[in-house]
Structure 1
Amino acid sequence: MNDEREKLWRQICRQFYFQNDALAQQILRQFEICKTDDTVISVETPMEKLSIVQENCKALGLENSSDPMHKNAMEQIIERYELIKNQIRSEYHQNLATHRYEEFHKLLLQRQSTNYCLDDKVLLVREKEAFIRLYDSHHEKMSKITNFLRQYMDTLGSHPFLLGLKQVIQWNLESSNIVGWRCKEIHVYHRHFINLWLIVVSDAVFLESAGKTFAADSVDLLINSLNFGHYELTKVATEKSEPRNRVWLMDPYLSDQDMRDLLHLFPPKYRLEGRPSGDKYMTGLFRMNLIGLCDEPQPFFQRWCVLL
């Protein structure tokens, strides 16, 4: 193929995919027609732009002819152009994925649990003297998870995340240690060597599953509502478009009663499809509020309403 033609075609494809250029779109539309009809016609091209489109099509060799040799050459040209177009389209989607993952990474760098702090190498539990978990705060948390479930329950792509979240709460309820999802091992330290479970989840769980708003909403649920801590699993250089694996660490101040209340909000397992995201892993950190000594007592009326 003529190198100048290939260069022009690459330029047009890039203008369409990366810049959403209207003229480039018309030329690619002509190309698609040429693949099936062996001809080039104008489609919704303004008259003042028609000559530019026609000139580019001519320069690319996308011209109709009854000559058999020309038809054979056209088939080779179209095959080559199709390959180039697919390569550039792949670059565009790769670039888009890179941007999405980097934006998600920046979002998480700005968000962290109030019960954890990070330095460069370790994840630390914040010491809280005379800590009280307010009843109103717990009630607000339950309202937020209810709204989240209502919004995403009908989206099948969210079900593995919901199953994993339900599972990690259940694990914690059954253990004196904090339990979480795990993909790979990470060391978590605390100066009192308290036992803790953690969760490691790929960023793809948030970005590739349940729509445009799911990533931001699920991060808001985990960090702002459930107070999960998080930590990037590895610091080694990887392709920017590759999902990062992150440690998600359960709130160490959740009591058994907190978790029972949360589990009651989830739908039954048969209504959730797929496999839960992640699996569990033991750390060296204990739960701080196992039997609810730090929980504010429920008002008498609310407590008996729940029991009844």
Structure 2
Amino acid sequence: MQSLPMTTMLGSTSKLIMYENFWYVINPSLFRNVLSIQKHFVVKDKDIFIAGLPKTGTTWLKSLLFATVDRTNHPIDKSLLLTHHPQELVYNLESDVYNEAFVYPRPNNLNELPSPRLLSTHISYTSLPKSIKTFGCRILYICRNPVDMFVKKREINEYDQDSLTLPRLEDFFEDFCEGKVIFGPFFEHALEYWKISLEQPYKVLFLKYEDLKDYPSNHLKRLAEFIGMPFSPQEESEGVIQEIVEFCSIKNMKELDVNKNGVINNFFEKKSYFRKGEVGDWANHVKPSMVERIHKLMQEKLEGSGLSFKVLP
């Protein structure tokens, strides 16, 4: 660890360490967990992963994925999502499975999970175990407009777990632009998965939060086909796709009792995972000069990639 670059976030006590060009928190043991995953995780061909930076819509996507996979076992009115938070049904590798720092309902052995195993990670594609990249498992990657994403991350105070106060918006913005975000930099993280989705479309399905919000039924149908569990013509005619979309909507999920009370990993309130879910809410928080700077940064980072986000009218 002493040989790796380290930094401290502005206006914060959180220390980050750079490993394979991405930032991880030193304390708690996030960095060590990533190393454990690389060394010990054994993938299965039918595994399905959700990947993406925090606050990009991963919890919502977990709901949609679980309901789609579980539809042959439970109708919506008997879904396990009525009694379990999505984070308790789709385990995060670095925060749940390989994290000894928290007491959390989880399997002692990943082999106990039914097939296909539904798992998630915020780790960059570079730092994934080699087996995930080479075996036949599937990855659903979700990305979000960078301005919305950085506003949402600040709102729930994931920036500094030791502080009870929010970091100054200006400080958080500077860190974001410099790439100093947990699991980031943002653009490099997204670009890795984007390029793999183009090179190996059977391996990675790249989803944008904004597109999923605008056309949820279309993208849920794509998701089901990608994971090898397409909706049948009968299911479509019976409205199963729309039923799942409405049940897993952020509006509905945040009203379920199971998502209102309690905490995840002894720290994050369950209700914090389902907030406004709005697209473009950043306009109520971010100065025009900040938007312009991110727009220029986005042009620089994404030029020639084919990936884009709308941050200016």
Structure of higher CA gyration radius:
1
Taking structure 2 as the reference length, what is the TM-score of the superposition? 0.22
Which structure: greater helix fraction? Answer: 1
